[in-house]
Structure 1
Amino acid sequence: MKKSDFSFDLPQDLIAQAPLAERSASRMLVVPPGDAGYDDRQVRELPGFLRAGDLLVFNDTRVIPARLFGRKQGSGGRVEILIERLLPGNEARAQVGASKTPRPGNLIELDAGGVAEVVARDGGFHHLRFHVDGALQAWLEKAGRMPLPPYIQREPGADDAERYQTVFAREAGAVAAPTAGLHFDEPLLEALRAKGVGFGHVTLHVGAGTFQPMRVDDVREHRMHSEWINVGAALVEQVRRTREAGGRVVAVGTTVMRAMESATVDGELHPFAGETAIFIVPGYRITSADILLTNFHLPESTLLMLVSAFAGRERVLAAYAHAVRERYRFFSYGDAMLLHRHD
């Protein structure tokens, strides 16, 4: 299997650069199982495609303002820091952009105040120790900038602090939003409750590695980045009761799918907290969810491969071609698609 098997032509002007005025006003491409035709809808119509007793599973991770700027002490060279993961003791794993890569022992004077000390290098990442006023996470909430994805060609604005965050975000630790969840607002959640749909949560702290391109053509040679997840006992019990009552499990986004599949052993979901580097590609049998709501993903990306494993590669790529023709909006601030599992 080659990464080129997941390529498609995407006009640049279809890459959404800003969110719509209303979260649930985004379009939703409904892709039924089998060969049935597509249905062009809006996300606010989601309750009409679900049944009482179904369970929506959200990722409750919260995006931290993980983007910082500074200068190398001594040379004065400009530096951009994108924190990948917070570590104990005011330390962090981060991507560091500079004309000359900082070495261990170098100091970066931060524009927002304080200093970042380079402790070590680990592949494409740096281990940094922050000397700032107070705990790093709390300091970032005041001093950091929202880390919009690299394909959004503008600086973050005031609205992004709210709109690049789901309305149910509560567990801080992500450096990118679980974008399928961005479509949900309070009116939609209320309509789903009125329908009798249940809500559950997992946590997966999305890392900057989600934007790194696959650098090998043979999919089997790709090394997946690691992310921290928590699938709690309460969610496991919700899924069990939903299944026993004949309801369906609906994963809101690929991050939820990754978390639940990582916690699945022999077809059964179990509580699990820790790291996952699961890589889901066609040929992998997904059992944790029956329906997937997801945004449109980058060509040749691991997320597109996951969606293809769920609904079938040919079916998914044909749906993407339809989305391009109908000028759906792509990626993080873009539109969504609703898919059923391909068995």
Structure 2
Amino acid sequence: MSLEDLEFELPKELIAYQPCPKRDHSRLMIAREDATQITQFFNIPHHLRPGDLLVLNNTKVINAKLTLNTAHEKKVTVYLDSKCSKGNWHAFAKPSRLLSVGDELRLAQEPDYKFVVLKKGEGGRIKLAFSSEAGMDIHKMLDLYGQIPLPPYIKKEVTPSDKERYQTVFSKNLGSVAAPTAGLHFTDQLLKNIADKEIEIAFITLHVGSGTFLPIKGSIETHVMHQENGFIEEKDAYLINQARANGRRVVAVGTTVLRTLEYMMHNFGEVKAGSFSTNLFIKPSFEFKIVDLLITNFHLPKSTLLLLVKAFAGENLINNAYQQAITHKMRFFSYGDAMLLYKQKPLT
């Protein structure tokens, strides 16, 4: 498969710049080899079975977008990306040309909070150290002065609606700079309806980095996948391992959940509790060991996520599904509609 196989023409009016008025009223495509059906997301329980295990990512998006002042009172927009060693952060800066290693950046509202540029890279990449003379935790500071970092193709001011709708209703553990978007369609009532059907629910945490929006560079073979960090609680690891041991279907809500579970199975043969990091890059011919169904949104061209869904469900099925989604004017990307995919059967 080449990069050209990950391209498609999408009418701009099908890009979802706003969320659906009601979370679970977005549309849902059931994509199978024998038939394709389009319904609404609140009907998802009808397409699952009692005994299935639904696995959700309970990461929470941080207010990772900051407007900071340089020592010369120039404004720089900084997007925190991921936490690294000793409390430092990887980030992106615009315009990065204003910055040099050693520069101090401060909030206009609260100059006691300071970032120091430790390193500069290409494409606006920087490494920052945060300190607070008041001893404030960075997450508390971000809650007060940061903004939700909407996807880069959504060029508008963040609204109160975005602050609510760019989080899942089950978000819990702070750390992501992008939402696990397949989870945005769920409501508390829908989760109750799923549980009432005797479908178990488990959680993992994978903090989504901004690399999720980056296109594949160069070629599929040479692309370097971004690293993401996560955590799984003991009770959830137990539920997932039991479901697999008992031959029950495992339904991943989002590519972040799928990558986490498959990383675990390929590295340990089971899902282990505790902290982990993964840069698993899923491509065609990947052997899926645990996930049977995937709930996911419609992804960007030339993205690792589009490559993942083609590896999972099959290239022909995905190509057909995306074309039907365009024909039926479904909504694409983070605030868009969803699809339910079945793992393709191995060739015999």
Same-fold call, TM > 0.5?
yes
CA contact (8 A) 1:44 1:188 kept: yes
Q: How far apart are 1:89 and its partner, in Å?
A: 5.5
Distance (Å, rounded) in 1 between the aligned partners of 2:242 and 2:303: 34
Q: How does 1:152-301 map to 2 (within 5 A)?
A: 152-216=154-218, 218-265=219-266, 268-271=269-272, 273-301=275-303
Q: Give the letter aligned to residue 243 of structure 1.
A: R
SS at match of 1:176: coil
**Aligned residue number for residue 339 of structure 2:** 337
**Aligned residue number for residue 62 of structure 1:** 60
Q: How far apart are 1:88 and its partner, in Å?
A: 5.9
Q: Give the letter aligned to residue 16 of structure 1.
A: A
Pick one of 101, 107, 110 that aligns with 1:110.
107
SS at match of 1:203: strand
Go from structure 1 to structure 2 and tell me whether the alpha carbon gap of 1:100 and 1:123 turns closer, same or farther (over 3 Å shift).
closer
Q: Deviations over 1:308-329 (max 9, x none)?
A: 1110011111100100110101
Go from structure 1 to structure 2 and tell me whether the alpha carbon gap of 1:185 and 1:279 turns closer, same or farther (over 3 Å shift).
same
Distance (Å, rounded) in 1 between the aligned partners of 2:44 and 2:186: 10
Q: Give the letter aligned to residue 290 of structure 2.
A: S
Q: Give the letter aligned to residue 69 of structure 1.
A: T
Q: How far apart are 1:122 and its partner, in Å?
A: 4.6
Q: Give the letter aligned to residue 190 of structure 2.
A: L
CA contact (8 A) 1:231 1:263 kept: no
Distance (Å, rounded) in 2 between the aligned partners of 1:267 and 1:31: 31
How does the TM-score come out when normalised to structure 2?
A: 0.93
What value does the CA root-mean-square deviation take over the aligned residues? 1.7
Q: How does 1:7-86 map to 2 (within 5 A)?
A: 7-32=7-32, 34=33, 36-74=34-72, 76-86=73-83
**Aligned residue number for residue 306 of structure 1:** 308
CA contact (8 A) 2:82 2:89 kept: yes
SS at match of 2:287: coil
230-239 vs 265-274, which deviates more?
A: 265-274
Distance (Å, rounded) in 2 between the aligned partners of 1:39 and 1:285: 27
Distance (Å, rounded) in 2 between the aligned partners of 1:266 and 1:37: 35
Distance (Å, rounded) in 1 between the aligned partners of 2:326 and 2:110: 45
Q: Give the letter aligned to residue 242 of structure 2.
A: R
Q: Deviations over 1:140-161 (max 9, x none)?
A: 1111100000111211101111
Distance (Å, rounded) in 2 between the aligned partners of 1:57 and 1:253: 9
Q: Deviations over 1:167-194 (max 9, x none)?
A: 1111110000000000000111111011
How does the TM-score come out when normalised to structure 1?
A: 0.94
194-203 vs 96-105, which deviates more?
A: 96-105
Q: Deviations over 1:228-278 (max 9, x none)?
A: 022344333212322344421000000001111111137932305321111
CA contact (8 A) 1:81 1:94 kept: yes
Q: How far apart are 1:287 and its partner, in Å?
A: 1.8
SS at match of 1:154: coil
Distance (Å, rounded) in 2 between the aligned partners of 1:112 and 1:289: 47
Q: Percent identity?
A: 38
Q: How far apart are 1:77 and its partner, in Å?
A: 2.8
CA contact (8 A) 1:250 1:290 kept: yes
Pick one of 93, 97, 105 that aligns with 2:94.
97
SS at match of 1:221: coil
CA contact (8 A) 1:291 1:341 kept: yes
CA contact (8 A) 1:90 1:131 kept: no
Distance (Å, rounded) in 2 between the aligned partners of 1:207 and 1:191: 31
Go from structure 1 to structure 2 and tell me whether the alpha carbon gap of 1:131 and 1:242 turns closer, same or farther (over 3 Å shift).
closer
Q: How does 1:144-155 map to 2 (within 5 A)?
A: 144-155=146-157
Go from structure 1 to structure 2 and tell me whether the alpha carbon gap of 1:112 and 1:58 turns closer, same or farther (over 3 Å shift).
farther
Unaligned runs of 5+ in 1: none
Go from structure 1 to structure 2 and tell me whether the alpha carbon gap of 1:266 and 1:156 turns closer, same or farther (over 3 Å shift).
closer
**Aligned residue number for residue 2 of structure 1:** 2
Unaligned runs of 5+ in 2: none
Q: Deviations over 1:111-138 (max 9, x none)?
A: 3423321122255521112233411111
Q: Give the letter aligned to residue 128 of structure 2.
A: L
